[in-house]
Structure 1
């Protein structure tokens, strides 16, 4: 029997050490080092002295097959994945508890099971609970194989026995292998279980979806190696008490990482939002001081969102600055630019800025809309009706160009806007677009003049 050894592993970054540390030397997390006992594998020792057999070949000799995908029958999900699920791919989905990860994957299993074989493995629910949730969400019966199990060995045997087209693991932190003595959810267990699933997926062309828990900071729990092992990492976002949910890719070997899928949570599960702009502006308070409509881009999709700002005299020595749905540091920079370049004395005022709809966007094109909304609230003047903005604001107050100008303008025109204010460097290239007035501005003074009508 192999001699047992002890090592200490950081549960935040996966750093390994033969001795315990109060603070991880790698990520500086406190109290994250956990003792784990392991035995060196005999196979590794046997391979150490084996003769080398050349297995590498020239890339020109590799017969590359065409990328094979199958549809999830959920348009927004297909968009984020890059056109559908790639056979043999490993996809990790992370999100806050209760955000709708299991609901989305159950809908995914229901759709794909109409044409392909699906195995749904849950380590958090019993088979009866899965059945009850399916009956609540869907009217018809589901032809999906279900399994309530946490043992990796049993799950491996079942996958290789039934050979499904798609496997769903909910969640990877509940799975454990008997070869490792540490508890489920530890760095070693998560890494080993994910590695085994990856080998099964690649060797048998079985697509696999993993649900990953997230930490209080919003990152996927467990070692970063988990995100390196998989092909695609998706984050499911949204406020728990808001009906809208967003799914975006932060890693995708088979598509873009800039796409965004929008869903609405209902009593029958998640429903796609085909036109987010119309939905987000359906309750717009346009015309009130402190509001501005901005044309933003999420991947290849143009979206119009409403920015609300409230500027009020402060009762504190240090005024408050609050940003919801956008970058807090960016807001502070824009307030400094407004004060320095436009002469707005807001150093003695509290400033609250909100991106409506519960979404989060950090694109620079929001800058011009934020500036105009704050200036509107500060001066108590309304922004002109049916007008939209986009453009990046520099530290000298200049308005800088952003990408996809034509798509932004056409989206605004489609939703009935009559004027759009944008960087002057882009306006000259878009002057041929009809039925909408295009106003180019060079700095924030010009933008405020055009936005307020003089």
Structure 2
């Protein structure tokens, strides 16, 4: 038997070190390095074959034209929004990690999914944080069919996989990966070594037996998935279920997907009977008042493979402070500072003595640059106390030179806006459609001054 090896791993970036240190030299994070004990492995004899040692098997070398290119046989979860985020459904043998804040609805969503799938295929729901009685009570409260779903209360990964070999499920849920442990890893459940080895063991089991495994993960204070960064590298799909406690809407966002598009968005509504999917999310984000107010405007953003209409609100008010505040909710704060500088230089609007507050309605987080022009329009509208047209949408990227740059999928964005009854659109000149869109006036602009003239 080989000697036990001890390494120290950063839980943020996965970098390994020979000894403990306070700061990770790779990602510069403090107090994220923890001890990781590598289990001993039997070494192969010199001059002999590696087959049978350390779990190594001989692999077959193939050329690319010999690889089977048949389409992956996906199966639906029963929720179109869940399937959308997964790239069209669950792929057999895939390892999926889903995280979210406590109370976001992770266990509820997976319990609903598994009860629906149990009607047509063998399933296994493994709970390590709750008792089987608690799971059964939740299923009864949600009115779910419970006569076919197989459940197990266990935290030992080896025991779970041995039982799964007998049950032969097509899909299995592990709730959650932070409480799972392996017998040969000498550390507490939830530590870096336990989470890392448990996830790797489950991923190997999924690939070898063509079982789709969904693992539930905890999140840190900043909202990212807890555990070592290598946990996200070894799985196939990483999903976050987001939603504030004061809102009944939940967004399911894909951060990594080997079988589909990333940054795909699915929207659910939390009800007394569990999570219900929202097939038309633009309708809920456009639930505005009857009277149009200054600083409010609708923009069209692109999430994954579909357009989404959301409302952005801005409030510009005189500041009593020496350093005026810049507060953003749902948008990047550095982007706001840059756009304010562009607005001053190329729009002639000085807001250095004003407090600026920006909010994206509905709790949507916007990361793409197509919101630039809409944000500037909302800022000017609030500063001048001039309400914009109610049936107007705006999108476009604003460059540092004051030019309006095109954004991808402009035609699809305009069609989505026209479908919801909008009559006018301010877009980059490169996104002007070749064919007129029925019922919509499209105004193409090339610079920030042109856009402000068209808006005001």
TM-score range, shorter chain: over 0.9
- Which residue of 48, 51, 62 corresponds with 2:49? 51
User: For the Cα contact (< 8 Å) 1:36–1:181, is it kept in 2?
Assistant: no
TM-superposed deviation, 1:112: 0.9
2:449 paired with 1:445: yes
User: For the Cα contact (< 8 Å) 1:423–1:441, is it kept in 2?
Assistant: yes
- Which residue of 243, 251, 275 corresponds with 2:248? 243
Structure 2 vs 1, CA of residues 3 and 408 (structure 1 numbering), >3 Å: closer, same or farther? closer
User: For the Cα contact (< 8 Å) 2:112–2:144, is it kept in 1?
Assistant: no
What per-residue deviation string (whole Å, max 9, x for no partner) do you get for residues 31-70 of structure 1?
333345555222xx13665336673222323334431111
**How far apart, in 2, do the equivalents of 1:399 and 1:170 lie?**
47
Partner of 1:415: 420
What per-residue deviation string (whole Å, max 9, x for no partner) do you get for residues 313-359 of structure 1?
00100000011011111111111111111111210000001000011
User: For the Cα contact (< 8 Å) 2:11–2:192, is it kept in 1?
Assistant: yes
Give me the TM-score of the superposition, normalised by structure 1. Answer: 0.94
TM-superposed deviation, 1:366: 0.7
Structure 2 vs 1, CA of residues 284 and 299 (structure 1 numbering), >3 Å: closer, same or farther? farther
User: For the Cα contact (< 8 Å) 1:169–1:211, is it kept in 2?
Assistant: yes
Partner of 1:72: 77
2:34 paired with 1:29: no
User: Which consecutive residues of structure 2, in runs of 5 or more, have no partner in the other structure?
Assistant: 51-57
Partner of 1:289: 294
**How far apart, in 2, do the equivalents of 1:316 and 1:380 lie?**
22
User: Which consecutive residues of structure 1, in runs of 5 or more, have no partner in the other structure?
Assistant: none
Secondary structure of the residue aligned to 1:352 is strand
Partner of 2:17: 17
**How far apart, in 1, do the equivalents of 2:291 and 2:297 lie?**
7
Partner of 1:311: 316
- Which residue of 231, 234, 240 corresponds with 2:236? 231
Structure 2 vs 1, CA of residues 297 and 10 (structure 1 numbering), >3 Å: closer, same or farther? closer
- Count, aligned residues: 449
Comparing 105-114 with 7-16, greater Cα deviation is found at: 7-16
What per-residue deviation string (whole Å, max 9, x for no partner) do you get for residues 212-252 of structure 1?
11111222111111111111111112222211111121111
Aligned ranges 1:54-453 → 2 under 5 Å: 55-284=60-289, 287-427=292-432, 429-452=433-456
**How far apart, in 2, do the equivalents of 1:301 and 1:339 lie?**
33
Secondary structure of the residue aligned to 2:421 is coil
**How far apart, in 1, do the equivalents of 2:420 and 2:276 lie?**
22
Secondary structure of the residue aligned to 2:359 is strand
Structure 2 vs 1, CA of residues 396 and 18 (structure 1 numbering), >3 Å: closer, same or farther? closer
Comparing 125-134 with 399-408, greater Cα deviation is found at: 399-408
**How far apart, in 1, do the equivalents of 2:330 and 2:147 lie?**
38
User: For the Cα contact (< 8 Å) 1:92–1:234, is it kept in 2?
Assistant: yes
TM-superposed deviation, 1:30: 2.7
**How far apart, in 2, do the equivalents of 1:414 and 1:36 lie?**
55
Tell me which stretches of 4 or more aligned residues in structure 1 moved more than 6 Å.
Answer: none
**How far apart, in 2, do the equivalents of 1:210 and 1:54 lie?**
28
Secondary structure of the residue aligned to 1:334 is helix
**How far apart, in 2, do the equivalents of 1:18 and 1:401 lie?**
49
Cα RMSD after superposing both structures: 1.9
